[in-house]
Amino acid sequence: MSQKLDSKIPAGNLSDKWTQYRSSVSLVNPANKRNLEVIVVGTGLAGASAAATLAEMGYKVKAFCFQDSPRRAHSIAAQGGINAAKNYQNDGDSVYRLFYDTIKGGDYRAREANVHRLAEVSTNIIDQCVAQGVPFAREYGGTLSNRSFGGTQVQRTFYAAGQTGQQLLLGAYSALERQVGVGNVKMYTRHEMIEVVTIDGKARGIIARDLVSGKLERHFGHAVLLCTGGYGNVFYLSTNAMGSNVTAAWKAHKAGAYFANPCFTQIHPTCIPVSGHYQSKLTLMSESLRNDGRIWVPKAQGDKRHPNDIPEEERDYYLERRYPAFGNLVPRDVASRAAKERCDAGYGVGSSGMAVYLDFRSNMMNKYGRAEATKAGIENPDEATLVRLGKEVVKEKYGNLFDMYKQITDEDPYEVPMRIYPAVHYTMGGLWVDYELQTTVPGLYALGEANFSDHGANRLGASALMQGLADGYFVIPYTVGSYLSKEIHTKAIDTQHEAFEAAEKRASERIEKLMGIQGKRSVESYHRELGLIMWDKCGMARSEAGLKEAIEQIRALREDFYKNVRIPGKVNEFNPELDKAGRVADFLELGELMCVDALNRNESCGGHFREEFQTEEGEALRDDDKFAYVAAWENNGDSWTLHKEELNYENIKIQQRSYK
């Protein structure tokens, strides 16, 4: 039924593939690069690093972002850190170990060759960022500092307090602005890509909407790079920024790019719980907190005592109990499910009972307080002294996160344990790409969270930043050359070409249709309703019956949207409601595909948990015989065709994942 998906994985030993690829890939000479134009959509870590690097190499680059500045892209909000196999801590880390942890963390649903390449270039990323002036945390001797993240037993995470994403993005942004300054990149802010233009089967440009004037613009490129992030906002409430959306990726999907593993969603275990109906987004508390925070619930159901009044022996540190080897640092999917299990069983805390405690007191006192006391020569310190001393250390490590928590909840986490609950955070699924990061449309590439390639069914903490920058700085500059070296005879195509004409017409008809509805309901209300369906039926736990129901509900909601939505204002003006309507319209289609994919995958793996498929202990039960494949969906207008890319594990023995 399906055309064979060619992942273009190079032959040879796993650890030689990338080196050999780089040594043999076709090159484009500098004179020709000046005549080749590349469009980069999105300016987060993947987009900014790709645009800057390609411009440095001599290509003519046009970069687009919907925000008012490329520096606002949502990579900026990443908190905890970035992984790299530097082994600076001498704790046994290596490229192989990072590769292995990532494949295992992804529950054996990622492609070996891509992940190994990611682990290889991880070390170059840290070097590059430091050279740009990224102020990573350092030790007193001046060397870089590391910490641990979930799903690993080494310390390989580099960080800048709790705002690593900000510092890395500002590094990539400065490299991008440098190229803007010298004229190699033309930057289009407040622009949204709403169509991919294809000519003779190849991506040749985009239609973008200037969000200030509302005008549609045509832009030609020899290649188009989508670096537009994930689609977690399909759930309405997520840790994503308000503007994060699937529109660019979805338009690419409709133009022929297959969408892979759409149901693989990451629910992050440590977020501030929902507090009211009006809530517009959820806020993450970094995974790095699990280095020093212990997660617990009361041993008694419905225990309403103040957490500080519950004695040690009446607390259930359920992660430490269930997973002694990894304890509080189990991967995100495991930690999230365990929290849900406790809350569903009636042990949850807070007014809604849908929260667990993340408690720093014990490490603040016993780990840091005691060490500081020893340093200061205080013998037999009392509890108050230990807390006082330990607090200073905790403040230095996580101060901004603690402040943010207090700001939002009005509770002081230095005194009272944080209350946390899982929330949608990241999407492992995305546009299907081959080893070169090319989608099924020649000339159209997807980088970073927008593609599906490296994290399987669950991403490890501190690996999103690594992948975004790996793709942008070190992968695409080589792989896009393989395509562009064959395009040196293609002259820039006039945007009067009929393909541009037709794409612009499609876009403008769609906008007119939306504006013409003039119904009664706000865009926001549809988005909220879609989010609830997705969270209830395609969230942390899924079932055949629930997914089938969800598909019907989404279809009905979509139909209602096109009858009753009300978009105020006009087309040709600054109109944020219209921008949002276009994005929600796409989410209403994507949501259905996510449920279709989840329904197809009759197994549990990573973040995809089907209630019918679990072990006796409630762990995810994979079915490797039937589902060791990437599900790549082709869009046929109002249905999808499934194409399978079989995953072959030649270097890792595929096994039941255990963190016990």
Out of 6, 16, 139, 623, which residue is the one contacting other proteins (CB under 8 A)?
A: 139
CB of 246 to other proteins, least distance (A): 16
Asked if 616 touches other proteins (CB under 8 A), the answer is no
CA dist., res. 294 & res. 357, Å (int): 8
What amino acid is encoded at 335 in this protein?
A
Is 48 in a helix, a strand, or coil?
Answer: helix
Q: Which is nearer to other proteins, 139 or 383 (CB)?
A: 139
Q: Which residues of 339-355 are buried (b: 16+ CB within 10 A; e: fewer)?
A: bbebbeeebbbbeeebb
Q: Could you say which residues in the range 310-329 bind other proteins, by CB under 8 A?
A: none
CB of 562 to other proteins, least distance (A): 18
Q: Could you say which residues in the range 364-383 bind other proteins, by CB under 8 A?
A: none
For this structure, is 332 an active site residue? Answer: yes
Q: Could you say which residues in the range 518-557 bind other proteins, by CB under 8 A?
A: 522, 524-525
Asked if 170 touches other proteins (CB under 8 A), the answer is yes
Give DSSP secondary structure letters for 217-284.
Answer: EEEE-SEEEE-----GGGGSSSSS-TT--SHHHHHHHHTT--EE-TT-EEEEEEEPPP--TT-----B
CA dist., res. 223 & res. 198, Å (int): 10
Say if residues 75 and 495 touch (Cβ distance below 8 Å): no
Out of 474, 613, 627, 659, which residue is the one contacting other proteins (CB under 8 A)?
A: 474
Q: Which is nearer to other proteins, 32 or 525 (CB)?
A: 525
Asked if 181 touches other proteins (CB under 8 A), the answer is yes
Residues near 142 by beta carbon (within 8 Å), at least 6 away in sequence: none
- Residues β-bridged to residue 220: 205
Tokens of 40: 């980069």
Q: How many residues bind to other proteins according to rule CB under 8 A?
A: 79
CB of 470 to other proteins, least distance (A): 12
CB of 284 to other proteins, least distance (A): 8
CB of 432 to other proteins, least distance (A): 26
CB of 184 to other proteins, least distance (A): 11
Out of 63, 98, 103, 187, which residue is the one contacting other proteins (CB under 8 A)?
A: 187
Asked if 473 touches other proteins (CB under 8 A), the answer is yes
CB of 55 to other proteins, least distance (A): 10
CA dist., res. 166 & res. 640, Å (int): 38
Say if residues 36 and 28 touch (Cβ distance below 8 Å): yes
Stretch that binds other proteins, among 95-103, 156-164, 229-237, 297-305 (CB under 8 A): 156-164
Q: Which is nearer to other proteins, 158 or 613 (CB)?
A: 158
Q: Which is nearer to other proteins, 126 or 599 (CB)?
A: 126
Q: Which is nearer to other proteins, 217 or 524 (CB)?
A: 524
CA dist., res. 368 & res. 391, Å (int): 8
The gap between the terminal CA atoms of the chain, to the nearest Å, is 41
Q: Could you say which residues in the range 381-410 bind other proteins, by CB under 8 A?
A: 403-404, 407-408, 410
Asked if 420 touches other proteins (CB under 8 A), the answer is no
Helices 544-564 and 523-538, packing angle to 10 deg: 170
E strands in 405-456: 418-427, 430-431, 444-446
CA dihedral 449, 451, 455, 459 (to 10 degrees): 20
Interface pattern 38-57 for other proteins (x via CB under 8 A): -----------x--xx--x-
CB of 125 to other proteins, least distance (A): 9
CB of 71 to other proteins, least distance (A): 6
Asked if 516 touches other proteins (CB under 8 A), the answer is no
Among the listed residues 190, 108, 100, the one whose alpha carbon sits nearest the alpha carbon of residue 152: 100
Say if residues 70 and 48 touch (Cβ distance below 8 Å): yes
CB-neighbour burial class of residue 498 (10 A; exposed 0-12, middle 13-18, buried 19+):
exposed
Cβ-based neighbour number of residue 200 at 10 Å: 7
Asked if 573 touches other proteins (CB under 8 A), the answer is yes
CB of 494 to other proteins, least distance (A): 29
CA dist., res. 232 & res. 594, Å (int): 11
Tokens of 75: 């990579």
Q: Which is nearer to other proteins, 167 or 635 (CB)?
A: 167
Stretch that binds other proteins, among 89-97, 470-478, 532-540, 595-603 (CB under 8 A): 470-478
CA dist., res. 572 & res. 551, Å (int): 35
Tokens of 269: 């275990």
- Among 290, 332, 361, 558, the one annotated catalytic: 332
Out of 18, 21, 99, 136, which residue is the one contacting other proteins (CB under 8 A)?
A: 136
Asked if 70 touches other proteins (CB under 8 A), the answer is yes
Out of 38, 48, 77, 620, which residue is the one contacting other proteins (CB under 8 A)?
A: 77
CB of 592 to other proteins, least distance (A): 26
Residues near 4 by beta carbon (within 8 Å), at least 6 away in sequence: none
413-419-420 Cα angle (round to 5): 120
Out of 132, 362, 385, 490, which residue is the one contacting other proteins (CB under 8 A)?
A: 132
Q: How far is CA 311 from CA 175, 218, 257, 297, 338, in A?
A: 53, 65, 56, 12, 22
Stretch that binds other proteins, among 1-9, 272-280, 614-622, 646-654 (CB under 8 A): 272-280
Out of 17, 62, 74, 397, which residue is the one contacting other proteins (CB under 8 A)?
A: 74
Asked if 30 touches other proteins (CB under 8 A), the answer is no
Q: Which is nearer to other proteins, 50 or 224 (CB)?
A: 50
Q: Which is nearer to other proteins, 160 or 257 (CB)?
A: 160
Out of 325, 569, 611, 626, which residue is the one contacting other proteins (CB under 8 A)?
A: 569
Asked if 144 touches other proteins (CB under 8 A), the answer is yes
Q: Which is nearer to other proteins, 128 or 157 (CB)?
A: 128
Q: Could you say which residues in the range 197-236 bind other proteins, by CB under 8 A?
A: 212
Out of 175, 441, 462, 605, which residue is the one contacting other proteins (CB under 8 A)?
A: 175
Tokens of 319: 């992660």
Q: Which is nearer to other proteins, 42 or 105 (CB)?
A: 42
Q: Which is nearer to other proteins, 141 or 311 (CB)?
A: 141
What amino acid is encoded at 194 in this protein?
I
Asked if 71 touches other proteins (CB under 8 A), the answer is yes
Helix (H) or strand (E) holding 475: none
What is the set of active-site residues? 332
